[in-house]
Homo-oligomer: A and B are copies of this chain.
Amino acid sequence: MTRIQYQECIDACMKCMDACNYSYVSSLKEYDLAALRETIQLDRECADMCSFAIQAMTRQSPFVVEILRLCADICERCADASSRHEHIHCQKCIDACRSAAMACRLVSGAVEVYA
């Protein structure tokens, strides 16, 4: 795996971390805060995992495959939880999480891409 092959995944995880942290901060300002308990928690989980995965990719960790698989799982869980809410920041989170999950699966070899 070359650095160029990681770049898309790094970018996707970066956008996901950003969207999750934005949704986290935005949720804490919402009136119906109580309905968002689960997504607040998962937003932080997902942001922290993406941050960890980005560091792992840039330092060419020998464990990058396992780390990205775990990252994909957590991104998908965060997307599922966010999809139960109508807030714009939750909706943006879904897209970012799904894109990051797909990028992590591609790089970690769980998804074959045919030309």
Contact = CB atoms under 8 A, between A and B. Distances in A.
Interface of A: 3, 10, 14, 17-18, 21-22, 24-25, 28-29, 33-34, 37, 40-42, 44-45, 47-49, 51-52, 54-55, 58-63, 66-67, 70, 73-74, 77
A42 to B, nearest CB: 8
Contact of A70 (B24, B48, B51, B67): B67
Contacts of A3: 22
20 contacts: A14-B14, A18-B58, A21-B60, A22-B60, A24-B59, A25-B60, A28-B40, A28-B41, A29-B37, A33-B37, A40-B40, A44-B44, A45-B62, A51-B54, A62-B77, A63-B70, A63-B77, A66-B70, A67-B70, A70-B70
The number of times this chain is found in the oligomer is 4
A73 B62 contact: no
